[in-house]
């Protein structure tokens, strides 16, 4: 029986050598524009509907769950558990190029940890440099890998994500090294790309949001993966609805940890 990754279309040659080298050496890569304009508009529309419907409870699965206990971020609008909030989000964790990039970092035994929305609010959004893991790890012993699906153009003006290239290989976390992780890092780069682009980055890479200096929210969805032996940020098997399970493929269920 073929491995689920083969059915997704993940095979040698799907990623170019330069993409693989960028993930290995820099810790991040752009996969280009994987969402076209109709997809973008459908996702934006669904996000607006969810923000209106959930109101003050938006992102509650991430912030209020006893199991997750993620601190609420005041400088950004959030939505969580998007796997179960519409078919428009399905491609954001099942796209073959995405899965190929994630497995290049983590190996073939992966699962989706969470699928969440984050929008840096006007004049807000600054995050300290951080990693998405509790401790430093040795190069190659990676547990988590993230992707950013840009719903707006990213620029230094609107709170785009900053990354510090090659820090996934340093065996340290920012809190151990920096006097103030909120301050700019001399080696940081700020992602600049058009809406529809997908950026994949090793989650052990130092990263964080910057200040949105515009009058509009800067919107993105994070499709976040871990190795199958780790606990998911969103417990997918507990949260999965019958509607979702009836809609998605066997391979997508495998990505959710089933």
Q: Let me know if residue 145 belongs to a domain.
A: yes
Number of compact structural domains in the chain: 1
Per-residue pLDDT reduced to its tens digit, 14-51: 999 999 999 999 999 999 999 999 999 999 999 999 99
Q: What is the CATH number of the domain that holds 151?
A: 2.60.120.620
Residue-range definition of the domain harbouring residue 176: 16-255
Summarize the confidence of residues 160-164 as an average pLDDT.
98
As given in the structure block, the two tokens for residue 186 are: 């001399």
- CA distances for 42 relative to 2, 45, 95, 151, 197, angstroms: 33, 5, 17, 11, 15
Residue scoring higher pLDDT (63 or 57): 57
Q: Let me know if residue 9 belongs to a domain.
A: no
Residue 10: the pLDDT is: 87
Q: What is the DSSP letter of 178?
A: -
Nearest to 6 by CA among 100, 131, 78: 100
Q: Let me know if residue 8 belongs to a domain.
A: no
- Which pTM was predicted? 0.95
Summarize the confidence of residues 93-114 as an average pLDDT.
97
Q: Let me know if residue 3 belongs to a domain.
A: no
Summarize the confidence of residues 197-215 as an average pLDDT.
98
As given in the structure block, the two tokens for residue 181 are: 């992780």
Residue 64: the pLDDT is: 57
Please report which confidence band the pLDDT of residue 93 belongs to, taking 50, 70 and 90 as the band edges.
Answer: very high
Residue 82: the pLDDT is: 98
Q: Let me know if residue 2 belongs to a domain.
A: no
66 has pLDDT over 80? no
CA angle (243, 197, 12) in 5-degree steps: 80
Residue 71: the pLDDT is: 65
Cα dihedral sign, 125-126-128-129: positive
Per-residue pLDDT reduced to its tens digit, 106-150: 999 999 999 999 999 999 999 999 999 999 999 999 999 999 999
For 106, how many CA atoms within 13 A lie in the half-sphere containing its CB? 28
- CA distances for 45 relative to 42, 88, 99, 151, 192, angstroms: 5, 10, 25, 11, 23
Q: Let me know if residue 116 belongs to a domain.
A: yes
Strand 144-150 with 207-208, pairing: unpaired
């Amino acid at each position: 029986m073929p491995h689920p990754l083969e059915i997704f279309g993940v095979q040698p040659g799907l990623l170019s050598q330069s993409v693989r080298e960028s993930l290995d050496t820099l810790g991040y890569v752009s996969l280009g524009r994987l969402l076209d304009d109709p997809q973008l508009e459908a996702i934006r529309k669904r996000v607006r509907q969810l923000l209106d419907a959930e109101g003050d409870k938006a992102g509650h699965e991430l912030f209020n769950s006893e199991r997750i206990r993620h601190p609420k971020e005041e400088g950004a609008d959030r939505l969580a558990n998007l796997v179960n909030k519409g078919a428009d989000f399905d491609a954001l964790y099942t796209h073959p190029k995405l899965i190929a990039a994630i497995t290049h970092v983590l190996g073939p035994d992966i699962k989706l940890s969470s699928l969440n929305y984050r929008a840096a609010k006007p004049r807000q959004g600054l995050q300290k440099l951080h990693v998405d893991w509790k401790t430093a790890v040795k190069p190659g012993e990676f547990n988590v890998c993230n992707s950013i699906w840009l719903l707006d153009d990213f620029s230094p003006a609107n709170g785009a994500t900053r990354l510090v290239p090659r820090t996934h290989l340093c065996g340290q976390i920012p809190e151990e090294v920096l006097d103030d992780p909120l301050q700019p890092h001399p080696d940081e780069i700020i992602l600049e790309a058009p809406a529809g682009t997908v950026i994949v980055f090793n989650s052990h890479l130092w990263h964080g949001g910057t200040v949105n200096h515009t009058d509009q929210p800067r919107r993105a969805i994070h499709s976040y993966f871990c190795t199958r032996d780790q606990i998911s940020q969103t417990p997918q098997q507990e949260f999965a609805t019958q509607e979702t399970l009836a809609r998605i493929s066997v391979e997508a269920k495998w990505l959710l940890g089933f």
